[in-house]
Amino acid sequence: MLKKIIFFNLIFSTFITQISISAESGGMPQLNPEFWISQIFWLIISFGILFIVLSKFILPKIRNNIEFRKSEILDNIETAEKQKTEAENTLKNYDELIRKSKNEAKNYFNDARKKIIEDIEKKKQALDKEINIEISKAEAEVAELVNKAPEKIQKIAIETSSDLIRQLIGEEVNNSSISAIVDDLYKKNKGKYYGN
Amino acid sequence: MAANPMTQFEVYRIGPEIKINQIDISFTNASLFMIISALSILLIFNLGSSKKNIIPTKIQLLAELSYSFISKMISDTAGNKGKPYFNLIFSLFMFVLFCNMFGMLPYSFTVTSHIIVTFFLAALIFIGVTVIGFIKHGFGYLKLFVPSGVPLVLLPLIVVIEIISYLSRPISLSVRLFANMMAGHTMMKVFGSFVISLGIVGGWLPLSFSVALTGLEILVAFLQAYVFAILTCIYLNDALNLHH
């Protein structure tokens, strides 16, 4: 960079010499000492004011501004990082919570299912028992009916036979002999009438 | 006026003649532009430093960027020891820059195109740097003229050359700035007068040259202020960190 600048200057200084030689005929106002003191005086005043005001008032303010910005940015970064970790923690907690509640929900569901299945089972058993009782009752009734049926039939058969004999022969027949015959027949043909 | 390209450098009195003990310190056009430059610097940087925004406004950004630019320049060339001279170098850079830039306005006056102004600034720097050197190192500062690792036979010659080069610092510093500014403005004036003399037919070529030169001159105005400031830093570095 510096080399470049010096090179640039060298090139320029050749220009300068040529031009200043050509300008010599007109005279250089720079070499007229008439206003030298005045220029120095006003230079001291203006540059002095500039230097004092800049270094006393303006440059410290700029320095403060730059430092203020730097520290503010650092602070902001710090708080941002803090908030980031906080957010991450919260997210972790949230995930944990969600996982837990999912498990809980599953458990509830499973429990409920188990309970319902048990209930159904219990009710089914109770119902089965009742049905069985009913069935056995009905069976007993049927059995009773079946047991009573031959007696009645025998009675009817004896009465019918005695009636028939009276009609045919016109003679009173001893009921006991008829019942003996019917019994005998019944025993003989039991399989025929009540065959299973 | 257009005939002579040097008339733009003439100093003339504005207002009454002021004399103290036969010394003429009248207010001139040069004084006017010095005051204008100083006041515009103060105005711009005051505006740029009055607010304390986290996100800077444009003018605040300008002030803060210039601040860090100069600060970086000093720490690059003179190290940490150069920090106390920041205010002076900042003021110098800004003053020279604004004087150069105001000189680019048509019909204005270029303060830095006068050898007496630049020489006064350079002499101020030279004396200041020398005083700082002697305060920091005592007579050990004279070791600056005795580079290490030089054969004993050559030493007298080298010391003479070193002393001459040291003493010519204010001259080279001031002449560089003055000559650059003067040459640039003279060239622009010359090309400007060519535009007038060649008229509508042939004036376009010097006009385009003039436009290009304007851009170049703005670059030079900045560059010379930068060179002035950075050379000050280098001289200061010699005085602060004595190792040749």
C-alpha B195/C-alpha B208 separation (Å) is 10
Q: Are B40 and B98 in contact (CB under 8 A)?
A: yes
C-alpha A67/C-alpha A63 separation (Å) is 6
Q: In the predicted model, is pLDDT for residue B189 greater than 80?
A: yes
Is B178–A35 a contact, with Cβ atoms under 8 angstroms apart? no
The region of weakest confidence among A88-92, A110-114, B106-110, B144-148 is B144-148
Residue B61, amino acid: L
Reported in sequence order, the residue ranges of chain B that DSSP labels E, i.e. its strands, are 19-20, 23-24
Sign of the dihedral defined by the CA atoms of residues A19, A25, A30, A31, in that order:
positive
Q: In the predicted model, is pLDDT for residue B80 greater than 60?
A: yes
Q: CB under 8 Å to A73, separation ≥6 — which residues? A: B54
Q: In the predicted model, is pLDDT for residue B1 greater than 50?
A: no
Give tens-digit pLDDT for A89-144. 999 999 999 999 999 999 999 999 999 999 999 999 999 999 999 999 999 999 98
Chain A interface includes B27 (CB < 8 A) = yes
When the pLDDT of each residue in chain B is averaged and rounded to a whole number, the result is 88
For residue A147, what pLDDT band results from cuts at 50, 70 and 90?
confident
Interval A2-27 mean pLDDT: 53
The pLDDT, as a whole number, for residue A120 is 95
DSSP B28: B
Give tens-digit pLDDT for B4-30. 777 788 888 887 877 888 878 888 888
For residue B150, what pLDDT band results from cuts at 50, 70 and 90?
confident
Cβ under 8 Å to A: B residues 192-231: 220, 223, 226-227, 230
Give tens-digit pLDDT for A43-71. 999 999 999 999 999 989 888 888 888 89
Number of H helices, E strands in chain A: 4, 0
For helices A36-53 and B86-103, what crossing angle results, to 10°?
130
C-alpha B85/C-alpha B96 separation (Å) is 17
Q: CB under 8 Å to A183, separation ≥6 — which residues? A: A154
Interval B143-156 mean pLDDT: 83
The pLDDT, as a whole number, for residue B81 is 85
> How many residues can be counted in chain B?
244
When the pLDDT of each residue in chain A is averaged and rounded to a whole number, the result is 83
Query: Following CA atoms B59, B62, B64, B67 in sequence, which dihedral angle do they give, to the nearest 10 degrees?
Result: -140
Sign of the dihedral defined by the CA atoms of residues A121, A126, A132, A135, in that order:
negative
Q: Which of B26, B67, B120 lies closest to A40 in CB terms?
A: B120
Q: Which of B38, B52, B113 lies closest to A65 in CB terms?
A: B52
Q: In the predicted model, is pLDDT for residue B125 greater than 60?
A: yes
Phi, psi of B190 (to 5 degrees): -65, -45
Interface test with B, best of A46, A56, A63 (most B CBs within 10 A): A46
User: Which ipTM did the prediction report?
Assistant: 0.89
Of B169 and A17, the structure prediction assigns the larger pLDDT to: B169
The pLDDT, as a whole number, for residue B225 is 94
For chain B, what percentages of helix, strand and coil (3-state, to nearest 5) are there?
75, 0, 20
The pLDDT, as a whole number, for residue A12 is 53
